[in-house]
Amino acid sequence: MKNLKIILVLLVIGLGFDIQAQELDVNLQIRPRFEYRNGYKSLLPEGQEGTSQISQRSRLNFNYKQDELTVKLTLQNTRTWGDVATTALNDKNGVAVFEAWAQYNLTEKWSARMGRQVLSYDNQRIMGEMDWAQQGQSHDALMVSFHPKNHQLDMGIAYNSTAENNVQTQYTVNSYKAMQYAWYHTTVSDLGISFLVLNTGYEYANPDAKLLVDYKQTFGTYLTYKTKKIDTNLSLYGQTGKSNDLQVSAYNAAINFGYNITDSFKAGLGYEFLSGKDTNDGSKVIKSFNPIFGTNHAFNGYMDYFYVGNHLNNVGLQDAFLKLNYNVNKWQFALIPHVFLAAADVVTPLNEKLDSYLGTEIDATFGYTFKKEIVVTGGYSQMFGSKTMEFIKTGDAGHTNNWAWLMISVNPRIFNWKK
């Protein structure tokens, strides 16, 4: 730590000779998380036992400002405790670049940002940071923002390759080949209005080994209404285009209503519908909605049975839930029960139509702000699955399927300098 401060001081002195209006801020995050997984993401198979592990994120953030220029560099290491020996010469995951971007404010209303960056909008249902995941989510992109008073329009593009190739080479990374988007937001009194248009292109090789890119469009609106007592939102998104030479036709709708009963206690109701495809539907059309870059852990239950790297091109989902939040002093508590149903018909190979009810999940969480830089959070969840869930996800619904976690986030500022 002492050597790092010396280096930063020397850097600041070197920069300070010629340039005015500078600021350098350096902060650190250490975030270990214990998890007990006993039917997490899917019902636990008969004869199997749950497991426990500790994962950790370590991040070092550099934020630098110089007049109209802003630069950010975030280095991170993600690990599972014990994934290398105590005497290992090399780390399993090494140090990765989570963010590395430069932004220039062209005018008071226009700015441009390029490099590895987080793209996060609205409630992060379609585009989010995925902060729960220790590695997070960021994009290599160019983004231009127009932000006059009470309006914001962000437009971004990305184009990906596996390496600096000299001939056409298939893009084999599990990501898009090209992406373009536009997001607009404004407020009218207590009403917030957002529109998003996202175009993602995925490359594949056809039977003749010719490389093609199919583009899928995701578009929709997100509306919020907030007063001192009421906090509600409504969203509606559609998907069209093509994916791997298949037509796409899907949609997503959600509504949430929250009410502040007191300054400390808030209650809410919500419902979300994500379209799916009947299990006996023989058509080649993709009818299952995909949240794409969403922070999906925040939706449809914390046990991640749906859309967290799973449940794609499936029967979709209906999620009806209740939210109870209570905050007192440095404590935060939440209780969120979910009732899950399939959004499309579930039909067995024997042509037996199953009940649409998938299961009920109960999520309970707490948080404690030990001090400004140290926050402790944790929770317990249990899934009460059905026979239909067994058919969709496999596993044993009769087993006690539960999940518990405890996380400590330490976020100290280790250096700050202004001139």
Sequence-distant (6+) residues with CB within 8 A of 339 are 319, 320, 321, 357, 360
Range of the domain at 354: 2-418
Residue 298 has pLDDT above 70, yes or no: yes
Cβ neighbourhood burial of 56 (10 Å; 0-12, 13-18, 19+): middle
Strand-pairing partners, residue 336, are: 363
Residue-level pLDDT at 21: 79
Count of beta carbons in the 10 Å neighbourhood of residue 282:
5
Block residue for tokens 């019902």: 43
Residue 112 pLDDT class (50, 70, 90 cuts): very high
How many other β-carbons are positioned within 10 Å of the β-carbon of residue 9? 12
Phi then psi for residue 152, to 5 deg, are: -150, 130
Q: Which residues pair with 24 in a beta bridge?
A: 64, 417
* pLDDT confidence band for 419 (50 / 70 / 90): confident
The percentage of residues in the chain with a pLDDT greater than 70, rounded to a whole number, is: 95
Of 15-29, 61-75, 174-188, 264-278, the one with minimum mean pLDDT is 15-29
Round to whole Å and give the CA distance between 117 and 100: 7
Q: Are strands 110-117 and 139-146 parallel, antiparallel or unpaired?
A: antiparallel
Give whole-number Cα distances, 128 to 131, 150, 239, 293, in Å: 8, 22, 18, 6
Q: What is the mean pLDDT of residues 27-40?
A: 98
pLDDT confidence of residue 209? 87
pLDDT (tens digit per residue) in 339-378: 999 999 999 999 999 999 999 999 999 999 999 999 999 9
Q: What's the mean pLDDT when you consider all of the chain?
A: 94
- Which of residues 330 and 209 earns the better pLDDT score? 330
What's the token pair of residue 138?
């960021």
- What's the domain count of the chain? 1
The predicted pLDDT at position 135 comes to 97
CATH label of the domain that carries residue 296: 2.40.160.100
- Cα–Cα distance measured from residue 339 to residue 337, given in angstroms and rounded to the nearest whole number: 7
**pLDDT tens track for 141-177:** 999 999 999 999 999 999 999 999 999 999 999 999 9
pLDDT at 122 over 70: yes
Q: What is the 3-state secondary structure (H, E, C) of the chain?
A: CHHHHHHHHHHHHHHCCCCCCEEEEEEEEEEEEEEEEECCCCCCCCCCCCEEEEEEEEEEEEEEEECCEEEEEEEEEEEECCCCCCCCCCCCCCCEEEEEEEEEECCCCEEEEEEEECCCCCCCCCECCCCCCCCCCCEEEEEEEECCCCEEEEEEEEECCCCCCCCCCCCCCCCCCEEEEEEEEEEECCEEEEEEEEEEEEEEECCCCCEEEEEEEEEEEEEEEECCCEEEEEEEEEEEEEECCEEECEEEEEEEEEEECCCCEEEEEEEEEECCCCCCCCCCCECCCCCCECCHHHCCCCCCCCCCCCCCCCCCEEEEEEEEEEEECCEEEEEEEEEEECCCCCECCCCCECCCEEEEEEEEEEEEEEECCEEEEEEEEEEEECHHHHHHHCCCCCCCEEEEEEEEEECCEEEEEEC
pLDDT classification of 5: cutoffs 50, 70, 90: low
pLDDT tens track for 244-266: 899 999 999 999 999 999 999 99
* 7 pLDDT more than 60: no
Side chain identity, residue 15 = L
Can you give the pLDDT at residue 228? 93
> Mean pLDDT over residues 203-212, rounded?
92
Token pair 């991170």: residue: 76
What is the model's pTM? 0.91
Amino acid at 287: K
Residue 182 corresponds to which tokens in the numbers above?
Answer: 């536009």
